[in-house]
Amino acid sequence: MMFIVSADKYKVFKGSSVTVYGVGFNDSCVVRIGNRDYSPIDYSDEYIVFMAPEEVGHYGFEIRDGMSSSGILSLFVEEYEDAAVTRLPVRQESSFRRMLDSLMPRGFGWEYGEGSNWSKLLSGLANAFSWLYGMLRNLVLQMSPVATDSLGTWENELSLPRKGLVQSSDSGRKSEIIRIARKRGGATIPYLKSILKIYGARFDLYEYWKSPSVFPSWVAERGEQANFYLLVKIYRDSYYAKGFNCKSKCNASLGHPRDSVLESILEQEKPAHVKIVYSYVVRILTDMNGNPIVNDNNQMIIV
């Protein structure tokens, strides 16, 4: 299949999603950045979405489907601090003094020399204007989540930190402020996937209308409402050895406890009409016959 893309250069912030518009995308497509292939986080026939690298720099990437390729495209990954922000120019007190001097009349009757009364008056006004301008310039900077250093004020405004996303460093706090204040697409699949990525989960996310076979049968019984269901499959890094078995009591746990923090994050971010089904999975290394392979401590190996 031949791809047709709408542009060959893309500029995004680090860790943001990249959307390539065109024709011919499908579920077999991968995004190759350097020598590594990445699965897209969303796609249709007309677009494909993937996550930009976390490191700032210039990357070459291509979209591949078997032997077909989009050709090498350019991706420029930038810091949020490099975003276009309204920044008033820096002005010194001397520039305000020259401005005031230019407004005054000329002639022998006006004495502006050093130590004169006019010079003292204009210097005082220039100092006041410089102070007011500095306050205004700082206000403009603080109004932008990208340029601000008033992290506490912005966190209070945005009700941060959110449960499960507490940041320990100032850079992490600022990244979270930028994400909440500037990132668009809270009702989109790429945005929900970016939340899972920030949380550090290993996951697969499915939409019913694209992959109905992976959903439990009761979802199909919802009729047209089934199209508003998502399934988040979360891969655990450990298994719950004391789960339910044939000798368990009827009130025994079926498996490892749910990740209530992760679920609460997604529930507050998703649109109200969207329903999420959660599936917790442990992938065990097995032999060719499907039997678990154990280590020296007789423990199954998680992959």
pLDDT at residue 164 greater than cutoff 90 = no
DSSP 289: T
pLDDT at residue 185 greater than cutoff 60 = no
Q: Which residue has the higher pLDDT, 299 or 147?
A: 147
DSSP 294: B
Give helix 117-142 / helix 93-103 axis angle, nearest 10°.
130
Q: Which residue has the higher pLDDT, 277 or 249?
A: 277
pTM to 2 decimal places: 0.51
pLDDT at residue 11 greater than cutoff 80 = yes
> Do the beta carbons of residue 285 and residue 293 sit within 8 Å?
yes
Read off the pLDDT band of 165 (50, 70, 90): confident
pLDDT recorded at residue 246: 65
pLDDT recorded at residue 201: 82
Distance CA 144, CA 86 (A): 8
Q: What is the rounded average pLDDT of the residues 8-35?
A: 86
pLDDT at residue 184 greater than cutoff 60 = no
pLDDT recorded at residue 45: 86
> Do the beta carbons of residue 241 and residue 225 sit within 8 Å?
no
Q: What is the rounded average pLDDT of the residues 284-290?
A: 82
pLDDT recorded at residue 253: 60
pLDDT recorded at residue 154: 92
Whether cis (ω within 30° of 0) applies to the bond prior to 40 is no
47: nearest Cα among 67, 16, 17: 17
- The mean predicted confidence, pLDDT, of the chain is 83
- Give me Rg for the CA atoms of the chain: 29
pLDDT recorded at residue 2: 62
pLDDT at residue 155 greater than cutoff 70 = yes
pLDDT tens profile 88-145: 888 999 999 999 988 888 877 788 888 888 889 999 999 999 999 999 999 988 988 8
Residues forming beta bridges with residue 22, ordered by sequence position: 5
Q: What is the rounded average pLDDT of the residues 36-40?
A: 86
Q: What is the rounded average pLDDT of the residues 57-72?
A: 89
Distance CA 31, CA 34 (A): 10
* DSSP class per residue in 161-179: SPTT----SHHHHHHHHHH
pLDDT recorded at residue 219: 95
Q: What is the rounded average pLDDT of the residues 11-36?
A: 86
> Do the beta carbons of residue 55 and residue 88 sit within 8 Å?
no
pLDDT tens profile 194-245: 778 777 788 899 999 889 999 999 999 999 999 999 999 998 887 666 555 6
Q: Which residue has the higher pLDDT, 255 or 65?
A: 65
pLDDT recorded at residue 93: 93
Distance CA 20, CA 13 (A): 15
Class of residue 147 by CB neighbours under 10 A (exposed 0-12, middle 13-18, buried 19+): middle
Distance CA 3, CA 281 (A): 35
Query: What three-state secondary structure class fits 85?
Result: coil
pLDDT recorded at residue 27: 83
Q: What is the rounded average pLDDT of the residues 151-164?
A: 86
